[in-house]
């Protein structure tokens, strides 16, 4: 399914090609609105199962590129953005929990630990053979959490569609001791500094 996001600006935009976000994530769509560029949303059909022995950063990058390429095959004229995020607990990938029970298990394991979030972004334009990508790494130190804190947080925010079971842009910030990164929106799901760099490289005016 495709959705078009129109942006109203004082001056008209004359983009060199259509811009497509290859993602069904509402968080990434919300971040894309910050760039004030009209874009379309097309959900990619990609198997997100990790390969045997695949490290979290490599998994995030492979899936970001695969998502962009899958959508670019449908829209070869467009600049297509693909992105993926994988939480990394001591080398073990942690995905979206999906259920309350899995979220409890994730947060219990992450309590008092430093978790690295690998957020990859890729831009593909099939017509001109453009494929570039980058990965942002965010180190997140969790407080030592009680069972009651975990339950209260999960019932309040229900972050079951978020890798690592916490939304740093919301109440999840209360679970943390520190965040260390160089691209502030990477933890939310799309590193906009890197995204802008890739879009400029494909000829998009940012």
pLDDT at 7 over 80: no
pLDDT at 74 over 50: yes
- Position 11 scores a pLDDT of 36
In-domain check, residue 9: yes
In-domain check, residue 74: yes
User: What are the pLDDT digits (tens) for 33-43?
Assistant: 999 999 999 99
Structure tokens that stand for 42 in this block:
């097309």
* CATH code, domain with 73: 3.90.950.10
Return phi, psi of residue 158, to 5°. 45, 60
pTM for this predicted structure: 0.89
Q: Which residue range(s) make up the domain with 86?
A: 2-201
Respond yes or no: is residue 84 known to be catalytic: yes
Distance CA 85, CA 56 (A): 9
In-domain check, residue 85: yes
For residue 15, name the pLDDT band (cuts at 50, 70, 90).
Answer: confident
- Position 12 scores a pLDDT of 43
Residue 56: DSSP 8-state: H
In-domain check, residue 206: no
- The catalytic residue among 47, 84, 127, 182 is 84
pLDDT at 1 over 90: no
User: What are the pLDDT digits (tens) for 79-133?
Assistant: 999 999 999 999 999 888 999 999 999 999 999 999 999 999 999 999 999 999 9
Structural domain count of the chain: 1
Enclosing H/E stretch for 147: helix 147-157
In-domain check, residue 72: yes
Distance CA 159, CA 24 (A): 16
120: which residues sit within 8 A by CB, 6+ positions away? 57, 60, 61, 63, 64, 65, 83, 84, 85, 133, 134, 135, 136
pLDDT above 70 coverage of the chain, percent: 94
130-142 and 2-5: which strand pairing?
A: unpaired
């Amino acid at each position: 399914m495709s959705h078009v996001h129109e942006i109203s600006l004082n001056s008209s935009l004359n983009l060199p090609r259509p811009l497509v976000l290859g993602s069904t994530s509402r968080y990434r769509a919300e971040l894309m609105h910050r760039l004030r560029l009209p874009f379309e949303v097309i959900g990619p059909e990609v198997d997100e199962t990790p390969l045997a022995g695949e490290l979290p950063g490599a998994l995030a990058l492979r899936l970001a590129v695969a998502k962009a390429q899958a959508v670019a095959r449908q829209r070869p004229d467009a600049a297509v953005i693909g992105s993926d995020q994988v939480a990394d607990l001591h080398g073990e990938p942690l995905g979206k929990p999906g259920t309350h029970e899995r979220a409890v298990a994730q947060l219990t394991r992450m309590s008092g630990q430093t978790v690295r979030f690998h957020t990859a972004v890729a831009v593909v334009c099939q017509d001109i053979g453009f494929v570039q990508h980058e990965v942002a790494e965010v180190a997140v130190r969790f407080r030592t959490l009680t069972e009651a804190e975990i339950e209260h947080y999960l019932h309040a925010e229900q972050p079951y569609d978020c890798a690592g079971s916490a939304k740093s842009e919301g109440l999840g910030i209360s679970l943390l001791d520190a965040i260390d990164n160089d691209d502030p929106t990477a933890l939310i799901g799309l590193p906009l500094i890197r995204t802008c760099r890739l879009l400029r490289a494909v000829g998009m005016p940012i």
